[in-house]
Structure 1
């Protein structure tokens, strides 16, 4: 079993990578680091613990372009140790492949990460560590979902780009019907009813849809959803939040600040949106 560390300074991408790694039965643990400093601190602790210690790391899934030190910088630092963890680069850029393999990288996976491509990187890491694939459970006859070995004896170059998608306003996001939005997680597409969404939270170029049952990440800016769903009663209350007007349970005024309660969540309302929100709620209350 592999112990993995995933490093990416874009939180939504880090969460997706961790989800895929934790879903792989060959990975016993997967932790995340959101910047180079945190990653080096975690790796240093692993090196001090030793390969069989409680903090050990077998493989680091490493983004390349990050603020401060890059993934290549981290790999160069690790190359000076006697028994560093293996490195798998996970990046949106093809141009660093030669440098990556010069640093003895196990694999080079291009974003957006496809589950089957990441599974192949896990297989290569296990093979380099000399660990066989897990045996099927007794009586089931099941064979673990492990991709077949690559015919090449050396690591392959960058993964092929994903198949072209049908045109859409944003990559990875589409509405199947007027009342639904498609969300993808780990290669699985679900269709969420827009009426079930209580509020939306901005996360960089992504947005997190909050429903009563949980949350879903989509690759689309909050401003686009604001424009698209205005007619459905969604209003902007803050640069980070878009709320379904009908899901607001309380409007709170406290010492000049405004907030709303949406279910169990309390969300701040910016000054520029406070007056408009109060007017909308009043009109809604009076019909």
Structure 2
């Protein structure tokens, strides 16, 4: 991680390197940075190899890094820098949202979608400043092989959703909808794959198209046709598929 001033304040100048193979994208980022407070541009690079050379020469605090580039892509650049003494805070800037998992596997500070919104960039730089002030980038250390968070598209970027905050998950064709309170987000994944990734101590599949967080289930009800449903804490009910009734009865200690 590049070093920050010995006396850290909220207004020390961030030294930023921009890496993008599109000249217009570099120009736009230069304009955005020129309007940002507490930031200085220390260089630009048009490909991954050049980014490594320039980063080693100027030792930036922050890398605004495109992902889809010819030759060495942004993910490879971030991994390469993490193995060196030059280890800046990385903010990915991309036109694609399907790199989110790989981006956060390399401990990216943030992930911005093109065209970059000035306010969104400002928040990302503020987050980078906080990380640098700690003196290091915290590398993810999963406590188990189960997924612990989701990064989902939201307007001009991505937001983090802790798995423990998800109330239920429902299938919509090739997508899964994550329900968190009154809001919901779509992710591209099959329900079978998602069921493998979720901790069974926290979640239970109750239907071919539905997974529930166990502690949201407050009761079980059966209608006149013999169909079972799970009554949830928010007052709604979720139909239970025939093949999952046994698991639900175990949950209730009635197996």
Taking structure 1 as the reference length, what is the TM-score of the superposition? Answer: 0.43
Q: Which structure ranks higher in relative contact order (CA pairs < 8 Å, sequence separation ≥ 6)?
A: 2
